[in-house]
Amino acid sequence: MIIRNYKTDDEVGWVRCRVLSFLDTAYYDNVLKNKETYKNPAIELVAVENDQIVGLLDIEYDANETTVCTRGEGLGGMIWHIATHPDFQRKGIATKLLKKAEQMAKEIGLDYLEAWTRDDKWVNKWYEKSRFDKTYSYLHVFAEGKNEVKEVMKADDPKFKIIQAFAHYAGDQQDDIKAKFKRVHECNCYEKNLK
């Protein structure tokens, strides 16, 4: 397996790897049809084995303080995507991608990395094992069906029926919110100091 910079020819393999790796996570419905491009500079890495993309890591980073990241001090890099193809998991690929990305981030002069993830225990444990600190959390709330949707939205036009909604909840009543809605995920912010 090799880790190298992403090339535009990698897009189909990148998308497939990301989609398949997210299926068994709380982000199972976060499907992309194309690889994102970034307004700011980015570290974009892929892990390749036998001409197949088996892992990926994208970090968009600050050229000036707080252009991408807002949680830490100094220049930060936001981990937008990190994934390992399910057939290649538990081989340390994500850790190798992170190690290479951290080396590149330090050479660029970044002060910290920031990452957001939902409440999959194994993902959160991976960030903790990788020496990230959990610094903040809020809820991702999915409202589905008439009763749940009316809790968060209403339409003034009676011909406009809202079937589902997605909301962020950052208040103090998290247990109440979790009791009202079937699908609620804690969204956690992790930071890693690179200095």
**Domain range holding 33?**
2-136
Q: Clarify whether residues 147 and 124 are in a common domain.
A: no
pLDDT in tens, the chain (195 residues): 999 999 999 999 999 999 999 999 999 999 999 999 999 999 999 999 999 999 999 999 999 999 999 877 899 999 999 999 999 999 999 999 999 999 999 999 999 999 999 999 999 999 999 999 999 999 999 999 888 998 888 788 888 888 899 999 999 999 999 999 999 999 999 999 998
Is residue 191 one of the residues assigned to a domain? no
Sheet holding 183-193, edge to edge: 2-5, 42-49, 52-61, 76-84, 112-117, 183-193, 133-144, 164-169
Q: Clarify whether residues 84 and 59 are in a common domain.
A: yes
Is residue 16 one of the residues assigned to a domain? yes
Is residue 64 one of the residues assigned to a domain? yes
Q: Clarify whether residues 37 and 128 are in a common domain.
A: yes
Is residue 190 one of the residues assigned to a domain? no
E-state strands within 36-101: 42-49, 52-61, 76-84
Q: Supply the pTM of this predicted model.
A: 0.92
